[in-house]
A and B are shown apart, each in its own frame.
Chain A
Amino acid sequence: MSLLELRPSGLFCPGGDFYIDPWKGVDRAIITHGHADHARVGSKSYLCCNDAVEILHTRLGHQASIQGVAYGETVSFGGVNVTLYPAGHILGSAQIKVESRGYSWVVSGDYKVEPDATCAAFQPVRCNGFVTEATFALPIYRWRPSGEVFAQVNEWWRANAAEKRASVLYAYSLGKAQRLLSGVDADIGPIYTHGSVERLNEVYRRAGVALPKTTYALTADIATYAGSLIVAPPGMNGSSWVRRFGDFSTAIASGWMQVRGHRRRRAVDRGFTLSDHADWPGLLSAIRETGAETIWVTHGSIDPLVRWLNENGWDAKGLDTQFTSDEADQNETSETEQVPE
């Protein structure tokens, strides 16, 4: 019996009788992180990292049965040991190590290897088999250090503020928004947020993440917003909601902004390349450090990564999952739009 297998409802561990990030309702679901394509409604019980419990409740409702565990803490299901390790993707994101009789798999969910002040750093975990994402698995994707990107954002905001213009920055409301807030220079001006961002800011603050003061952009008085930064989900671009900001410049922060065509398609003034997913060198170093010989690739540029790994000595294959990322920028949009205002 294999330790992990793909079933119609998701990745299943027969020995422990649980699923990891299932896309249909199951009895027991272990969740890597709180983004909607990984934490879906309908399961009887959920297990996730302590820091993700509140995020999951905002997604799944307050009735959902959610159990939290600490990073590094081991829980047993039918002789299969389950341990969560930081994935560095967003607050509470975890790689899930599944181990039985000395043989182990790690399901990494979404991850990045570069440091992020708003969540625990990615931790390489030795294993026999590794399940990886491939959102940005092409060598054209190589991130600049986040400090450089924050400096670009600050420069854009400062230039707008000097002209009494508001700066509307579109970012995924869970994770990306908070990472940006922790990185910008709050001395430039006041910071306002969309409701879906503000709600998650509160969750982050309660988990002890330091964020600058933010205010829910409630008032329709245009003068309030002159020179301010407004952080909102990408779906708000072009909506009536942003018109309240009067004269403003728009920008989006996403890994897809690396490519000019994507930048232009989004019809914003600026595109900042900032991602919570690993870039090409990040994916390869993470895979190497696991020491795993078998690699399953779940979503994104599956084919190139699988081929590259197979040509370089790994035993790799792609899995047909329902995790999204092929067009993740669009899914970010639809996902955040589901959050009620």
Chain B
Amino acid sequence: MKRFAELYTALDATTKTNAKVAAMESYFRQAPASDAAWATYFLRGGKLRSPFPSKLMRQWAAEAAGIPAWLLEECYESVGDLAETAALLVPDAGTGSSDIKLTEWIEQRLAPLRAMPETEQREMILRSWLQLSSSERFVWNKLITGSFRVGVSEGLVLRGLAAATEVPESVLAHRLSGSWQPTPEAWALLISKETSDAATSQPYPFFLSHPLEGSPDQLGNVTEWLVERKWDGIRAQVIRRKGEVHIWSRGGEQITDRFPEVLSEAWRLPNGTVLDGEILGWNDGRVMPFADLQQRIARRKPGKAILAKVPARLMAFDLLEWDGVDIRARPLVERRTILETLPVNLSPSLPALTWDDVAALRASSRELGTEGVMLKRLHSPYGVGRQRGDWWKSKIEPYSVDAVLINAQRGHGRRASLYTAYTFGVWDEGKLVPFAKAYSGLTDAEIRAADSFIRKNTVERFGPVCSVTPELVFEIAFEGIQRSTRHKSGIAVRFPRMARWRTDKKAADADTLETVKALLRT
């Protein structure tokens, strides 16, 4: 646990990617296989379900610190993270730190907790805290509560692993995609120098696009580009190999059983085929809003009603494997030519002779329920991760509304103790009705200024939330808007964020609910 906590501390302490890669490299070089497997699992965002509700950790931490429950809550409000609050509150026992392997902490201590009665859980947790230093306690608490997160991207983990194991990043990415299990055997397979091992179910790493800033004419001749709609759904890879079908999400999850419609379409493909595309809700010949599709994501076995309400399909746009051969290195135009011969719903190639044509296509995105257009270089290979240059997404301008800050709540993590989560209202018959919550978009200086305003202008407190004198106006940008019966305003918006602080506007100048509802029709 000591070394893993040191790795965490090193990764947390720096923003420099080279330093992070070096920290991971040195950890993986010395870690035993089982620890390396678990570390890989956690660094990539793997979580274990918490064996007990967080209120028990609150209770035990307060007990260990000898403080009343309300004081623990005050501390939590100030820290913004329960695992850290508990780590800071529990007194140091002086035994310092634990040389016991990470694997033992996870497999011998954490795993059995779930089956234990509460009294034994309590005893185990209190004892574990005494064996750890404050920073180890923090990491341990994060692991127990299933909230372990560290600031490294998938790509950075791959770099760290590649540096330590000398296995190419793309091979590691291939082996790690899917439901990778943290065992010493899986680790041995992962770092094997013998690289012809793609198992039947293994997806390829997804190639991701970059947002295009500014005008597209910087990309050269439009005829060198494939123009497609940017579909708003679930990015997925469909694998048809050796009499099997597997569907993977970009998050590395097997979603095969969740979309039986896509599954039955996939059975029609020849063996040795891998498609890349977007799973969409599709009804009456057009794409349904993402919010509708969202209802299906969590359902492992969708029932008849939801299947009828939100029918799904795969909009295919790339072919990664054909006739059992990895064709990712071949140019897009060749991959697409084969794709067009297959029984799939093909994402259409849009006709564009000039960049003005592209702009016109992009402008029609919203009425078609799409997010914008994709620009893919016709002669490009299918890359790994978010490489710049060959795949660009050009999204349509977001909707925007001027709204008034009415409620605020303190943030978490980096923003603990500052008011950074805001609720915004728009006018409806002389009253402000809440219409969106937003957390992002302000600079640190603006956050401090808003925080200071909120502290001075708090009207009432309801637990962690406070209401604020309605004075500040912000331009709220968002991607989509839908009717909603669950919201007081009667509407729900997608990806709301603060685009600008409108210091030039007074509360009375903010938009009305009527104007916002008018956007439903655009």
**Which A residues are closer than 8 A to B by beta carbons?**
138-140, 142, 258-262, 264-265, 267, 269-270, 301, 303-304, 307-308, 311, 326, 330
Residue of B nearest to A258 (CB): B88
Whether A264 and B65, one on each chain, are in contact in the complex, defined by CB atoms closer than 8 angstroms, is no
Docked Cα-Cα span, A18 to B33, in Å, equals 71
- Which chain B residues border A311 with CB–CB below 8 Å? 68
Whether A269 and B70, one on each chain, are in contact in the complex, defined by CB atoms closer than 8 angstroms, is no
Whether B12 and A139, one on each chain, are in contact in the complex, defined by CB atoms closer than 8 angstroms, is no
User: Smallest CB–CB gap between B60 and chain A, Å?
Assistant: 15
Whether B448 and A330, one on each chain, are in contact in the complex, defined by CB atoms closer than 8 angstroms, is yes
- Which chain A residues border B416 with CB–CB below 8 Å? 259-262
Whether B71 and A308, one on each chain, are in contact in the complex, defined by CB atoms closer than 8 angstroms, is yes
B67 is contacted by which of A139, A258, A269 (Cβ under 8 Å)?
A139
B413 is contacted by which of A264, A270, A303, A330 (Cβ under 8 Å)?
A264
Docked Cα-Cα span, A139 to B88, in Å, equals 8
- Which chain B residues border A259 with CB–CB below 8 Å? 78-79, 84, 88, 416-417
Question: Which B90-143 residues have C-beta < 8 A from chain A?
Answer: 91, 138
Question: Which B44-71 residues have C-beta < 8 A from chain A?
Answer: 65, 67-68, 70-71
The size bracket of the interface on B is 20 to 34
Interface status of B13 (Cβ within 8 A of chain A): yes
Question: Which B450-490 residues have C-beta < 8 A from chain A?
Answer: 455
With A138-B75, A260-B413 as contacts: A269 and B14 at CB distance below 8 Å: yes
**Which B residues are closer than 8 A to A by beta carbons?**
12-15, 65, 67-68, 70-71, 74-75, 78-81, 84-85, 88-89, 91, 138, 411-418, 444, 448, 455
Give 12 pairs: A residue, B residue, CB < 8 Å, sorted on A. A140-B78, A140-B79, A142-B88, A258-B88, A259-B416, A261-B80, A261-B81, A261-B413, A265-B444, A304-B74, A308-B68, A308-B71
Docked Cα-Cα span, A138 to B76, in Å, equals 10
Whether B78 and A264, one on each chain, are in contact in the complex, defined by CB atoms closer than 8 angstroms, is no
Name the residue in B71, B89, B413, B448 with the highest tally of chain A Cβ atoms < 10 Å from its Cβ: B71
Whether B13 and A261, one on each chain, are in contact in the complex, defined by CB atoms closer than 8 angstroms, is no
A304 is contacted by which of B71, B411, B415 (Cβ under 8 Å)?
B71
User: Smallest CB–CB gap between A151 and chain B, Å?
Assistant: 14
Whether A261 and B70, one on each chain, are in contact in the complex, defined by CB atoms closer than 8 angstroms, is no
* Chain A to chain B: the 6 pairs with minimum beta-carbon distance, closest first: A261-B416, A140-B88, A264-B414, A304-B74, A140-B75, A138-B75
Residue of A nearest to B451 (CB): A327
A260 is contacted by which of B12, B71, B411 (Cβ under 8 Å)?
B12
Residue of A nearest to B412 (CB): A261
Whether A270 and B13, one on each chain, are in contact in the complex, defined by CB atoms closer than 8 angstroms, is yes
Residue of B nearest to A141 (CB): B88
Whether A139 and B414, one on each chain, are in contact in the complex, defined by CB atoms closer than 8 angstroms, is no
Docked Cα-Cα span, A301 to B497, in Å, equals 31
Residue of A nearest to B12 (CB): A260
Whether B89 and A139, one on each chain, are in contact in the complex, defined by CB atoms closer than 8 angstroms, is yes
Whether B13 and A139, one on each chain, are in contact in the complex, defined by CB atoms closer than 8 angstroms, is no
Docked Cα-Cα span, A72 to B12, in Å, equals 48
- Which chain A residues border B65 with CB–CB below 8 Å? 139
Docked Cα-Cα span, A330 to B451, in Å, equals 13
A261 is contacted by which of B74, B75, B417 (Cβ under 8 Å)?
B417
Whether B78 and A260, one on each chain, are in contact in the complex, defined by CB atoms closer than 8 angstroms, is no
- Which chain A residues border B78 with CB–CB below 8 Å? 138, 140, 259, 301
Docked Cα-Cα span, A216 to B449, in Å, equals 33
Residue of B nearest to A265 (CB): B414
